[in-house]
Structure 1
């Protein structure tokens, strides 16, 4: 939206005010609008993030997710410490995999799915 208004030759204020008016909760701050405006003035119209330095996250992959799923399927009472030992992953990575990928939670020291499928519901009755 900022780029479109910039190409329509609007000023920083003419870009910022309509954004605040139409998207009060979602609009970027004035400093963000000014930063993008400066980028556009200098001819930088690339909207994607630039590559960043640092180590990529290689531990949060499909292989580790499947391994974790196998472990909690075999032993629903397995602990974080045991998962760390078996998978050699950090507790933070284990937490992300369990709660965001596999969607399980620990209830009464047993890993159970957040939501049950139809077959699981029938087996509980």
Structure 2
């Protein structure tokens, strides 16, 4: 809509008002509409996001899952900071890998164990 309004030579204010009328809440701020207009004036006509360098969109891959499992086998007392440092991924991804993929939880002693231990296995530690 913003691009269409720009091409029709509608003002930034009117374009923002059109967004509010069409979508009510939430809509981009007036400042965001101004930035888009500026980009269009600079002949950035593509509506696609520009390529960005940096971290991958997802750190939860079969490779990182396997690496996390190996780390737990080598040291069952490994902590989140050590996972993050070794695997070069964030704590949220580590949490997803540990709980959703590997099905482990942390004991009071700091060891990672499978969620589905029997009572006898749990007592044996």
Corresponding residue for residue 100 of structure 1: 96
The gaps in structure 1 that reach 5 residues or longer are 114-119
TM-superposition CA deviations, 1:19-40 (whole Å, max 9, x none): 2234344211111100101211
The gaps in structure 2 that reach 5 residues or longer are 119-125
Corresponding residue for residue 116 of structure 1: none
Between Structure 1 and Structure 2, how many residues are aligned?
A: 109
Task: Give the alignment partner of residue 89 of structure 1, picking from 69, 87, 100.
Answer: 87
Alignment RMSD:
3.9
Task: Give the alignment partner of residue 78 of structure 1, picking from 70, 76, 79.
Answer: 76
Corresponding residue for residue 68 of structure 2: 68
TM-score normalised by structure 2 residue count: 0.57
Change (3 A) 1:106 1:21: farther
Contact 1:106/1:112, CA 8 A, preserved across alignment = yes
Q: How does 1:45-64 map to 2 (within 5 A)?
A: 45-52=45-52, 56-57=55-56, 60=59, 61-64=61-64
Please give the alpha-carbon distance, in whole angstroms, between the structure 1 residues aligned to 2:80 and 2:15.
54
Contact 1:15/1:33, CA 8 A, preserved across alignment = yes
Change (3 A) 1:82 1:100: closer
